[in-house]
């Protein structure tokens, strides 16, 4: 009687162990599903800790290998959502917007750029009137300053001119960019 | 120059080197355009975003500090944010003007052109909640690591993992018939 009971115990212990193994396997498969959902099917993309959890040898088991194949098929399916390639005109317009060697130098050395100051309206006006008389400009400037002095003196404007003088660098920068930045104000 | 890393290219671009500029554009434009297209599903807008992103690259190049950040991650972040801005504006305009909610069904013409299966995949991806979709786009389509995806999306790695897991599960559910078909086809060939 006792021996029969012992036999039954062996059987139930055996099936318990099998159930436990099955449960462990089911848990591992569930964990593998999570891993595949987070990291995808590329083993190389998995973090070190996850690779230790699932060594390559384990993944060769049919149930695991099947899951990985399914994930690869899923990745293949996702790749059917294609995107357009850049057109030549898009590439060209992006390249055209890039800083050229000249622009880059100018940006890095603003004073040099400022040296190429666009002609002021007054100067353009003077040159239009005096196209062949560039050497007379200093004489003209002297005459204009004398006239300016006379006018200021006669109208009684005696403010301190020194206070209105701005930093020359700043002035050059303002002049250099005036036509491009503040065209709306003119 | 072909083997130059992005940091080196950016330094040359700041000095106005045209060859470096071309190389950087050729290296990154395709991916920038692909990401913006998949986020916006509008070719014209995707091109505008790519242009805008590269304008920011040119502005940033002289200030770029090598080794401080990875250029690819920075560019993806710029593109992602530009797309998010546009998506927000689209939604505001639609709500403000009392338009109907966006039609979730795929554009029939596009479906015809792209093929039925790719149209269904596109539709499924677009139906994902925004953050899940962005995580899937960056991770699967752009090949970014989860750490990079987290940096681009400005969330924790754990959050990215959760978004990816939920996103992939939802896609697998939606695309179950197509997924079965593709596996069946693989076994029969």
pLDDT tens digits, one per residue of A67-83: 999 999 999 999 999 99
A90 neighbourhood in chain B, CB within 8 Å: 29, 33, 47, 50-51
Is the domain of A68 the same as that of A137? no
User: Which among B146, B7, B144 is positioned nearest to B76, based on CA atoms?
Assistant: B144
The CATH architecture to which B1-102 belongs is Orthogonal Bundle (1.10)
Is the domain of A120 the same as that of A51? no
Residue A167 has pLDDT above 80, yes or no: no
Q: What is the CA radius of gyration of chain B?
A: 19
Among the partner-chain residues B38, B58, B121, the one whose CB lies closest to the CB of A99 is B58
Is the domain of A116 the same as that of A156? yes
Sequence spans of domains, chain B = 1-102, 105-189
The residue that leads in pLDDT, A142 or B17, is B17
Domain count, chain A: 2
Residue pair B164/B146 in contact (Cβ under 8 Å)? The answer is yes
Residue B127 has pLDDT above 90, yes or no: yes
Q: What pLDDT does B166 receive?
A: 97
Is the domain of A70 the same as that of A117? no
Q: What pLDDT does A20 receive?
A: 85
CB-side neighbour CA atoms (13 Å) of A180: 7
Residue B13 has pLDDT above 50, yes or no: yes
B116 neighbourhood in chain A, CB within 8 Å: none
Residue A47 has pLDDT above 60, yes or no: yes
Is the domain of A69 the same as that of A111? no
pLDDT band at B92 (very low <50, low <70, confident <90, very high): confident
Q: Does residue A5 fall inside a structural domain? A: no
Q: A87 to chain B: nearest residue by CA? A: B47
Q: Does residue A169 fall inside a structural domain? A: yes
The residue that leads in pLDDT, A111 or A29, is A29
Region of poorest pLDDT, from A142-156, B39-53, B68-82, B135-149: A142-156
φ/ψ of B166, rounded to 5, equals -70, -40
Residue pair A81/B125 in contact (Cβ under 8 Å)? The answer is yes
Among the partner-chain residues A75, A82, A86, the one whose CB lies closest to the CB of B114 is A82
Is the domain of A108 the same as that of A181? yes
| Cα dist from A106 to A109, A113, B8, B15, whole Å | 5, 5, 21, 10
Q: What pLDDT does B178 receive?
A: 92
B168 neighbourhood in chain A, CB within 8 Å: 36-38, 74
Q: Does residue A92 fall inside a structural domain? A: no
- Over residues B36-48, the mean pLDDT reads 97
Question: Domain B105-189 adopts which CATH fold?
Answer: Arc Repressor Mutant, subunit A (1.10.10)
Helix H, strand E, coil C: the string for chain A is CHHHHHHHHHHHHHHHHHHHHHHHHHHHHHHHHHHHHHHCCCHHHCCHHHHHHCCHHHHCCHHHHHHHHHHHHHHHHHCCCCCCCCCHHHHHHHHHCCCCHHHHHHHHCHHHHHHCCCCCHHHHHHHHHCCCCHHHHHHHHHHHHHHHHHHHHHHCCCCCHHHHCCCHHHHHHHHHHHHHHCHHHC
Residue ranges making up the domain that contains A37 = 14-78
Q: What pLDDT does A11 receive?
A: 66
Query: Residue B156 and residue B89: Cα distance in Å, rounded?
Result: 26
pLDDT band at B56 (very low <50, low <70, confident <90, very high): very high
With 0-12 / 13-18 / 19 or more C-beta atoms within 10 angstroms meaning exposed / middle / buried, residue B124 is: buried
Q: What pLDDT does B181 receive?
A: 87
Burial track B18-31 (b if 16+ CB lie within 10 A, e otherwise):
eebbbbbbeebbbb
Query: Residue B80 and residue B88: Cα distance in Å, rounded?
Result: 12
- Over residues B117-143, the mean pLDDT reads 96
Is the domain of A108 the same as that of A174? yes
Interface test with A, best of B122, B172, B189 (most A CBs within 10 A): B172
pLDDT band at B182 (very low <50, low <70, confident <90, very high): confident
């Amino acid at each position: 009687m006792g021996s029969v009971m012992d036999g039954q115990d062996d059987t139930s212990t055996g099936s318990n162990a099998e159930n436990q193994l099955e449960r462990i396997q089911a848990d591992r498969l569930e964990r593998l599903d999570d891993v595949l959902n987070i990291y995808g099917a590329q083993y190389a993309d998995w973090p070190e800790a996850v690779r230790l959890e699932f060594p390559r040898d384990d993944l060769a088991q049919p149930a695991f290998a099947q899951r990985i194949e399914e994930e690869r098929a899923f990745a293949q399916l996702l790749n059917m959502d294609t995107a357009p390639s850049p057109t030549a005109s898009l590439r060209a317009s992006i390249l055209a917007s890039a800083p050229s060697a000249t622009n880059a130098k100018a940006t890095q050395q603003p004073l040099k750029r400022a040296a190429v100051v666009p002609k002021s309206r007054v100067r353009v006006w003077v040159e239009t009137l005096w196209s062949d008389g560039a050497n007379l400009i200093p004489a003209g400037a002297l005459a204009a300053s004398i006239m300016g002095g006379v006018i200021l003196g006669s109208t009684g404007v005696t403010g301190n001119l020194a206070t209105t003088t701005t930093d020359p660098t700043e002035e050059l920068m303002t002049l250099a960019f005036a036509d491009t930045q503040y065209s709306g104000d003119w | 120059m072909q083997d130059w890393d992005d940091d080196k290219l950016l330094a040359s671009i700041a000095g106005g080197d045209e060859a470096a500029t071309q190389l950087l554009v050729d290296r990154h434009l395709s991916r920038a355009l692909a990401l913006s297209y998949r986020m916006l599903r509008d070719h014209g807008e995707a091109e505008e975003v790519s242009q805008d992103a590269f304008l920011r690259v040119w502005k940033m190049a002289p200030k770029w500090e090598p080794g401080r950040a990875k250029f690819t991650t920075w560019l993806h972040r710029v593109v992602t944010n530009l797309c998010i801005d546009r998506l927000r504006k689209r939604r505001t305009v639609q709500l403000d003007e009392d338009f109907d909610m966006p039609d979730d069904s795929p554009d029939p013409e596009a479906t015809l052109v792209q093929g039925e299966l790719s149209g269904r995949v596109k539709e499924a991806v677009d139906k994902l909640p925004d953050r899940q979709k962005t995580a899937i786009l960056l991770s699967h389509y752009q090949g970014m690591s989860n750490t990079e995806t987290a940096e681009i999306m400005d969330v924790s790695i754990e959050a990215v993992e959760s978004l990816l897991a939920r996103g992939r599960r939802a896609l697998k559910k939606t695309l179950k018939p197509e997924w079965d078909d593709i596996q069946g086809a693989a076994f029969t060939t």
